[in-house]
Amino acid sequence: MGTLGKEVGWAWILLGLMLVGCGTTKSQQGTQQLLISNAIDLSISRMALNALAGKSIYLDTKYIVETGPQGFGKAPYIISSLRQHLLASGCHLQDSAEKADFIMEARIGSLSTDDHDITYGIPASSMLNTTASLITNTPALPAFPEISFARRTQQLGIAKIVAFIYDRKLGSRIWQSGIQVTQSTSSNFWILGAGPFQWGTIHDGTQFAGEQIGLPFMISNQAELGVENKKSIRQYEDQAAYFKSSKAQGQEDSPDSPPARFPQQ
């Protein structure tokens, strides 16, 4: 091998050492489940049910069916989440339609995950090997490896859950959630092979290889939730204890009295 060939070889070795990664993400199943459940939480928590506090409601679940692969029970999670949000909003749940004044009917428009990958650098290529194969008696050449200075992957959890309420006896409309699509996010970022740096709506702050770190220049970890529905969102997400604390003072609580809330830990 000539001097030039040796220099080129050492250059490839040094470049390879510079781009050696120091972190990987092995399994995505847990992340995908968190993305879907988080998107469900965001979709349901934005349903403003405060105007129905004190009303008797039956949740009709016959249209909440799973259409995706089995293994993660999305339908039971959605049903339980809707029941929780109704109770947190002050509604009275009934176990049969005959006992309720109003019927809530819900349906699933979408529950899925999407992936996006971006590589900043030179992608892998087998062009040299393909070109050499056109010439007879030419040995096979190795594929040109990927040279990435930075790489980013983003996973999205997408949920579209729609609900409406109608009067059981009259069949007239009472309330509807409106149609909106919510997204949960999980982003991974590598720079010169170091990573992954992670952030998104399912992460508690910015993380490096699973450990939380404080990097002010990184993207915010939580998506901005609808400002107009913050009260409804807090009713769904916050810790709360529902009890009649005024009995100790010999007073009667009204059914619509606000719950006592635990302070944030």
pLDDT at residue 142, as a whole number: 67
Residue 256 within a domain: no
* Separation CA 223–CA 238 (nearest Å): 17
CA distance 210 to 127: 37
Measured in residues, the chain has a length of 265
Grade residue 69 by pLDDT with cuts at 50, 70 and 90: low
Enter the tokens of residue 207.
């993380």
Which H or E element spans position 256? none
Element (H, E) at 176: strand 173-176
Name 145's Cβ contacts closer than 8 Å, sequence gap at least 6: 16, 124
With respect to residue 178, please indicate whether it lies within any of the assigned structural domains: yes
Does the pLDDT at position 252 exceed 80? no
Name the more confident of 7 and 138.
Answer: 138
- Residue corresponding to tokens 């830990």: 265
Domain assignment of residue 169, yes or no: yes
* Domain that residue 187 falls in: 27-119+148-239
What is the DSSP-derived secondary structure letter of residue 247? G
The model's confidence at residue 223, banded by pLDDT at 50, 70 and 90, is very low
Q: Nearest CA to 168 among 106, 107, 98, 105? A: 98
Supply φ then ψ for residue 233, to 5 degrees.
-65, -40
Whether 253 maps to a domain, the answer reads: no
Q: Is residue 208 part of a domain?
A: yes
| 126 within a domain of the structure (yes/no) | no
pTM: 0.67
In DSSP terms, 112 is beta-bridged to 158
Positive/negative CA dihedral, 41, 44, 50, 56:
negative
Tell me how many domains the chain contains: 1
**Residue 252 in domain:** no
In a domain, 223, yes or no: yes
Contact of 197 with 153, CB cutoff 8 Å: no
* Mean of pLDDT values over 86-106: 95
